[in-house]
Amino acid sequence: MYRIIVLNVLLLLTCSLFAQQKPVNSAEEFEKRYQWRIQQDFLEGTYIPKDLTDVFIELNRLIDKPSKQKFKTASEEEVVHKLYFSLGRWMIVNWGFYGGSRLSVFLKKLDIHHPEEMAKFLITTYHRNLNKNKLNVKELVTSLQEARAQEKAERLEEGEVIETKRRKREVTPEKN
């Protein structure tokens, strides 16, 4: 029994060592890794769609028919609200929105830069696609950007200054 427990602990430790990549130490190393990531079809064993049509195909493959039917019949607002913390977070992590992927590059070209907005955009357009509605990409992008700007303004308005300091700037002599 003791051997089994020790073997399991060693196995878990070994798996956790290989589960994460080493963090980057420089901007050059980050850029090199980013450039590699955005060219890959698969990251961490997960297929990365290349564009919106590819996203719809991949989601159709991944989501079973009963779930797809529930998704389709719910309202757009309800779908985005309910699925952001499950499907949306899955997209952000597995499709590499933070670290970069070919899909995140595609979405940035549409002027969607924040991972939360990327996930909400994909959930909304997939819902519209299932219901055979117009995607209205430009309008959706604009509404997501406006919502983010409004949230930011509200946070700044509600914020409280904890402490204010004034420092005198040191003047350094100019070198000739």
Place of tokens 């798996």: 15
* 58 within a domain of the structure (yes/no): yes
* 13 within a domain of the structure (yes/no): no
* 136 within a domain of the structure (yes/no): yes
Q: How many CB atoms lie within 10 A of CB 170?
A: 5
At residue 76 the predicted structure's pLDDT band, cuts being 50, 70 and 90, is very high
Q: How many structural domains compose the chain?
A: 1
pTM (two decimals): 0.78
Give the pLDDT of residue 18. Answer: 45
At residue 15 the predicted structure's pLDDT band, cuts being 50, 70 and 90, is very low
Q: Are 72 and 127 in contact (CB under 8 A)?
A: yes
* 20 within a domain of the structure (yes/no): no
54-58, 86-90, 126-130, 163-167: the lowest-pLDDT one: 163-167
* 161 within a domain of the structure (yes/no): no
* 160 within a domain of the structure (yes/no): no
83-140 per-position pLDDT tens digit:
999 999 999 999 999 999 999 999 999 999 999 999 999 999 999 999 999 999 999 9
* 112 within a domain of the structure (yes/no): yes
H-helix segments, 84-171:
89-94, 102-109, 115-130, 137-158
Domain range for 65: 31-149
